[in-house]
Amino acid sequence: MDDFFTPPPKFDPARSPPPIDPIGDQHQDQKQQKPFDQDPEKRQRLINGSLLLFFKKVFATSLFSRGSRGSKTPEEINAAAHVIKEHLEMLKTSDQNDNPHFIEELSIAYLTLSSIPPGSRFDAFLQAANIYPQGDAHSFAFYLANHAGDTWLPFPFLEILRKLHQGFVLRKKNSELQHLIDLL
């Protein structure tokens, strides 16, 4: 019976396994590969694939990107600012973090507003939304820009909405919510 206190058996070199031949040496003669730069077919496929990926990335980011800067009319931008202001005013009176329709509308309006070129009168609001709340992993603007709403309601974003509402209830005119409304 083997147990912990019995020593291992003595090593017998006669019973050791035979040496193993390396696998690479046997197959090297069977398959002679050309260096990459000497195989024109592989080279052409790589070039074509690289060009395809490059053009896909260029077209996806420039032509088909949603909300490219400067693409909205002033009326659309003012309407979006009005919607954001109305929704933030609603947040003053009641906690809206359980209302996905409210969050979806707020997010869509923010995407429209954030598509304006720099230097507009809404820059202060956009910057304030980008830094609130300080110290968190993601800002209020991050969640709005990533289309929080019916299909995506992250818990930290709901907490941000709750903090905005509770902050207004406690501090009224000196709250972050009132500051965001005043910037619009």
Q: What is the pLDDT of residues 48-105, one digit of tens each?
A: 888 888 777 776 665 544 444 446 788 888 898 899 899 889 988 888 878 888 888 8
pLDDT per position as a tens digit, 27-53: 555 555 656 566 778 778 878 888 888
Residue ranges of domains in the chain? 35-65, 74-183
Task: Find, among 32, 29, 48, the residue nearest to 40 by Cα.
Answer: 48
Comparing C-alpha atoms, which of 25, 45, 48 is closest to residue 36?
Answer: 45
Q: Which residues contact 116 (CB under 8 A, 6 or more apart)?
A: 69, 70, 72, 77, 122
* Mean pLDDT rounded to a whole number for the chain: 77
DSSP three-state, residue 49 = helix
Peptide bond into 133 cis (omega under 30): yes
